[in-house]
Structure 1
Amino acid sequence: MTNEQRELVKATVPVLKANGVALTTYFYNRMLTQNPELKNVFNAANQHTGAQPTALAMAVLAYAEHIDNPGVLAGAVNRIANKHVSLDIRPEQYAIVGKHLLASIGEVLGDAASPALIDAWGVAYQQLAGMMIGVEAGLYSNAVAKEGGWSGWRPFVVQQKTRESEEITSFYLYPSDHGAVADFAPGQYITVRLFVPELNVFQPRQYSISCAPNGRYYRISVKKEHGNELRPEGHVSNLLHSSIAEGAIIEVAAPSGDFTLNPDKTNPIVFISGGVGVTPFMSMLDYLISAGKQRPVTWIHGCRSFRVHAFRDLVRELGEKHGAMSVHTFYDTMEQDMEDGYYEGFVDLGKLSQVLAPDADYYICGPGAFIKKHFDYLSANGIVREAIHFEEFGPATLVV
């Protein structure tokens, strides 16, 4: 890429800040209309709500802003690459995306999109695609090299369904070939792909693994998404709850994700979850106990009420096994008298300042607004950025 091309890309930053979501929305509509087979890859709900176009707009903006030194985006690139591998994205699909992205830039910007600008973005896209393809190749290779590992989609049997609350059910998934399953880093997710009749396409969804590595099965714990005026009901979560019975076979991609524990650290850990955001922490806690790790744990969880509180008893049981864990639970509505450690209202770290260790690693999982609230509180109270880890459910739209 020439210096002139870099300057042309950087010059589009104000346009991307003002109109990036409009551009990426147009791009997805164009690509999915002309390449409808890709509807089997992209989450229809995230297209409907605008979450996916927003996430892409932010990624394109970040790349344009850092075009002089794209290496600073290594963390974001790794996170996106993990998501792509979980969806079985392959190198040849980058050509399709590039074609429609460049065409969209030209069609949306009109006369402002000079041939030189389109050429500059073409070179920039090839540079980014090459970076992504390289990282993803490494992730695919590592997944296959593991004992019990695989690439692409592998059939698994739902051997057991367990109701964890009024909204959350756990699914125990065993490989249909009776082979081993690859170990994973606690906190990672797997992707489930189901055919959705009303959409007439396959739909993939990522779900955090909610158990420790065991070589035999994965457990996912899925909230049934009922939907509201802002978001449609969950196609895949509803199918899992209502149509996928014990004994059914579903397609699964190998574990992915970078929201994981460092197994070598010994400092305290604080887990902060909202709703179904508790699931990766179940894996992490289970792992700490099964591996004999003695790191002190503070467990902070918020949900609407006792009725929708998944893993309530199991967390306390695991906490007793661990021996160095405190549990703090917030309910939006307190429906009955509860013992110590329960609070009414949204999760408020200010009420727990006495248990928040300054040398701890903090893990936050939940919706973007939930994460930002607690990230801002921790930052304002002296916790360094490197000690705060978070995973946003759905496309990553949070920048902190």
Structure 2
Amino acid sequence: MNSAIREQFPILNQNVNGHPLVYLDSAATSQKPRQVIEAIKSYYELDNSNVHRGVHTLGSRATDAYEGAREKLARFINARSTKEIVFTRGTTTALNLVASSYGPANVGEGDEIVITQMEHHSNLIPWQQLAKKTGATLKYIPLQKDGTILLEDAEKTITDNTKIVSVAYVSNVMGVTSPVKELAAIAHRHGAIMVVDGAQSTPHMKVDVQDLDCDFYALSGHKMCGPTGIGALYGKRALLEAMEPVEFGGEMIDDVGLYESTWKELPWKFEGGTPIIAGAVGLGAAIDFLQEVGLDEIHRHEMKLAKYAEQRLAEINGISIYGPRGREVGLVTFNLGDVHPHDVATVLDAEGIAIRAGHHCCQPLMRWLEVSSTARASLYLYNNEEDIDRLASALIRTKEYFADAIG
């Protein structure tokens, strides 16, 4: 990826603690290119108005921008229709919408919900709560030592009693890309639906929801160069049509009486209240940016960097790297001997290097790994080999600093 791409991200042109910033925390949130920042700024300066309501010019322009972003996202993930795209606050809200609306109407006592131990809490707790409310059983597909899933294990776990299978396309800790297309086929053979947590996949690779044949797909804008507070739920139209809204108020209604009300058609029946208009505008600009760069090019760049990062970090004595080798995403999770990840991150921050440390909203996975927490360096299109070299050099200095702890 050339330097011209990096220059599109103004936040990277700064010093942190006296050092040029190296941002290696894109799995938590990505940085924003100028055209996204300018699109949001332009909306507020020129077009700010509520949508779907007014007939004045600003209202029409705001509505066109909001619905235009929906059209861009539908094409971006190859949905059949914009009616299958529901704007939400992000992946968490999208997954909760499925669990709260589809779940109670289709899951009952004795049924099964199948997930994995490497799920983000956002794709675990909603299913825990649904199981508690309905009397369903929560089951887990076993993980291999490197965090990968074997389809034969999935075949054994998913049964005719299974109603929902929900798996992250890409793990935010292990860097595992799960076979969601094959899992969807297994789920459908047993009469279950397939839900995909796409938070970590959508920014980094081409996604085709029709090819995956998933029933629901959740994503966040802030991880794909868009603003915070905007995301989406893709759902097959027939499923969304049958679901009831979970938020009620303005915008999502068709007719309101004193004792009964009816809802708007898809997707608006799920978008109660004033929607996230500026967020959608920014997301639309982010999609334009990613398509201009090219998802295939972004994926190739990240794979190259991931391979280089694995190589450089593996050279450091005492380091433990989690997840499969030769991973297909730009994410490396590790621990440096007995040094607490928070201490590692603090020392790196003093050198202007931003990484993530903690349980990464995956506490069951941490217990499975038999650690309390880990450090994580996550890459994106604006990173380069120099960033990884600085990380590796800083980790060596960190190791020396905590030599007594490592032994």
TM-score, L = length of structure 1: 0.28
Which structure is richer in relative contact order (CA contacts within 8 A, separation 6 or more)?
2
